[in-house]
């Protein structure tokens, strides 16, 4: 019989880490409205759900992935910006960030660079802390956002707020914006030319905020930030947008329709939390 060479303290550390991860997961589940962790999800078992790095929906009743890629053949936003990388004014005083962002938001409010301006009620620029170390980038405003002029204030926004809270942040301690600032009709996915026209705003606001990590919410955001292709796995893998690390994961609106994917989103957010604390979660690949 082999001797167990693992020092007692290491085992304690391992157990403590596991307990921390479990506690975080339970907080996440509870915050998202769950009352326990199911052993099965509908007719599909948990083991059939996608693992980290596997964006493919599982077979069976969950095979339809409603997250629509951007139109084929369109330019990506990353081709609109210069290739030299963001200047990243880290250390910029808060007041200066706010001044620059206010100027940018005013420009966006008057923008008519794409057809989306024609039916907008309000331009939806951003909300949250412009000095945050984490920025969430979604797809585009929905009906509630178009009415209020703020991103992620509808049902998906409330779910995002719970995700943010599970990560240990206050609601307004993170920076939140979208690929396009005006609502696409019927909440359709922004077209490539619309995202490209709006790229100057997204690129500039991310340059001013200069977060340590960007979380791309949904395939559209991931594609336009240049960290996902139109086909194949895309979520759960680190990418980079102009020098800022990007973690792509599912959009909260998708989670509302398909809550069985909460677990993999929590895995992605754990990687972000570990990155921000300068550590990698146990067993995760830093891809």
Give the Cα separation of 147 and 123 in Å (integer).
Answer: 9
Residue 92 or 197: the one with the smaller Cβ distance to ligand SF4 is 197
Q: Nearer to ligand SF4 by C-beta: 176 or 264?
A: 176
Number of other CB atoms surrounding residue 177 within 10 Å: 25
Binder among 70, 116, 246, 272 for ligand SF4 (CB under 6 A): 116
CB 101, min distance to ligand SF4, A: 14
- Which part of the chain contacts ligand SF4 (CB under 6 A), choosing from 2-10, 131-139, 178-186, 230-238? 178-186
Residues 70 to 109 in contact with ligand SF4, rule: CB under 6 A: 108
Stretch that binds ligand SF4, among 40-48, 93-101, 111-119, 154-162 (CB under 6 A): 111-119
When asked if residue 113 is in the footprint of ligand SF4 (CB under 6 A), the reply is yes
Judged on CB neighbours under 10 Å (0-12, 13-18, 19+), 219 is buried
Residues 181-200 that bind ligand SF4 (CB under 6 A): 181-182, 194, 197-198
Structure tokens at 206: 């991310």
CB neighbours of 205 closer than 8 A, spacing ≥ 6? 101, 104, 125, 126, 177
Distances from the Cα of 262 to the Cαs of 47, 109, 168, 267, in angstroms?
A: 14, 34, 17, 9
C-beta of 180 vs 216, nearer to ligand SF4: 180
Residue in the structure block whose two tokens are 């359709």:
188
Residues that bind ligand SF4 (CB under 6 A): 108, 111-114, 116-117, 123, 180-182, 194, 197-198
């Amino acid at each position: 019989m082999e001797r167990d060479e693992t020092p007692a303290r290491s085992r304690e550390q391992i157990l403590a880490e596991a307990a921390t991860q479990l506690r975080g997961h339970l907080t996440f589940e509870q915050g998202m409205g769950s009352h326990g962790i199911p052993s099965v999800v509908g007719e599909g078992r948990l083991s059939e759900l996608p693992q980290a790095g596997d964006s493919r929906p599982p077979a069976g009743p969950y095979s339809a992935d409603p997250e629509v890629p951007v139109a084929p053949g369109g330019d990506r936003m990353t081709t609109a910006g210069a290739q030299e990388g963001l200047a990243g004014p880290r250390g910029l005083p808060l007041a200066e960030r706010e001044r620059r962002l206010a100027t940018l938001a005013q420009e966006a409010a008057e923008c008519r660079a794409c057809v989306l301006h024609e039916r907008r009620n309000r331009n939806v620029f951003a909300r949250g802390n412009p000095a945050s170390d984490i920025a969430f980038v979604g797809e585009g405003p929905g009906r509630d956002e178009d009415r209020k002029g703020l991103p992620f204030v509808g049902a998906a926004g409330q779910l995002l707020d719970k995700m943010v809270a599970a990560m240990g942040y206050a609601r307004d301690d993170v920076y939140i914006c979208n690929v396009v600032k005006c609502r696409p009709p019927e909440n359709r996915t922004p077209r490539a030319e619309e995202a490209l026209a709006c790229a100057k705003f997204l690129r500039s606001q991310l340059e001013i905020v200069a977060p340590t990590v960007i979380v791309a919410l949904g395939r559209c955001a991931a594609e336009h930030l240049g960290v996902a292709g139109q086909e194949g796995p895309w979520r759960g893998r680190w990418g980079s947008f102009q020098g800022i690390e990007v973690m792509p994961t599912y959009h909260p609106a998708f989670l509302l329709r398909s809550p069985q994917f909460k677990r993999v989103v929590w895995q992605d957010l754990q990687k972000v939390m570990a990155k921000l604390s300068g550590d990698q979660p146990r067993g995760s690949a830093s891809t």
